[in-house]
Amino acid sequence: MNNVMSLITGLVFGLGLIVSGMTNPAKVLAFLDLAGMWDPSLALVMGGAIPISAIAFFLAGKRGTSLLGRTINLPSTRTINWKLTTGSMLFGIGWGLAGICPGPAIALLGYGLQKSFIFIAAMFAGMALFGRLTAKRK
């Protein structure tokens, strides 16, 4: 049941990305281009998602377990360290260069655009590189 729900949730998430315009990198870059012809549409994606998500997190905090009986562990780290800030900085630069973040990157696979494959391969390489560096330190 868990797995069926994961699949359905991925589908709904992907449809949301498509309908919102997040799977169009040109639109994402137009959203990030404050000094050019600015397309503010994508600010409304957060506007639509956050109220619903906020209610869900509020309920999750009260219940403590999911409907399928799994304990809901919300991230409890509160420290703001160099990893968080540097990582977000690098992500922001990459996002600004291509207009693609991880969710839309995966959904773009289904569009079959050749250029998206290059981005996704590089994104996986970047994640794997991080995994290697942290594994060495342990």
Partner 1 sequence: MTIDWASFTPLHSLTGGVLIGLAVAMLLLINGRIAGISGIIGGLLAPSRNDILWRILFLLGLVVSPVLYALFAGLPESRIEAEWPVLMLAGLLVGFGTRLGSGCTSGHGVCGLSRLSPRSIVATSIFMGFGFATVYAVRHLLS
Site for partner 1 in 89-118 (CB under 8 A): 89-103, 105-111, 113, 115-116, 118
Site for partner 1 in 2-21 (CB under 8 A): 2-21
Q: How far is the CB of 132 from partner 1 (least distance, A)?
A: 10
- 50 interacts with partner 1 by CB under 8 A: yes
Cα separation, 51 vs 56, whole angstroms = 9
Q: How far is the CB of 124 from partner 1 (least distance, A)?
A: 6
Cα separation, 128 vs 137, whole angstroms = 15
Q: How far is the CB of 137 from partner 1 (least distance, A)?
A: 13
Beta bridge partners of 65: 71
Closest CA to 106 of 33, 8, 5, 13: 13
Q: Is 71 helix (H, G, I), strand (E, B) or coil?
A: strand
Q: Is 65 helix (H, G, I), strand (E, B) or coil?
A: strand
Q: Number of residues interacting with partner 1: please give it, by CB under 8 A.
A: 119
Backbone angles phi, psi at 66, to 5 degrees: -80, 170
Q: How far is the CB of 81 from partner 1 (least distance, A)?
A: 9
Site for partner 1 in 20-49 (CB under 8 A): 20-27, 29-30, 32-49
| 7: number of Cβ within 10 Å | 9
Site for partner 1 in 51-90 (CB under 8 A): 51-61, 63, 65-68, 70-75, 77-80, 83-90
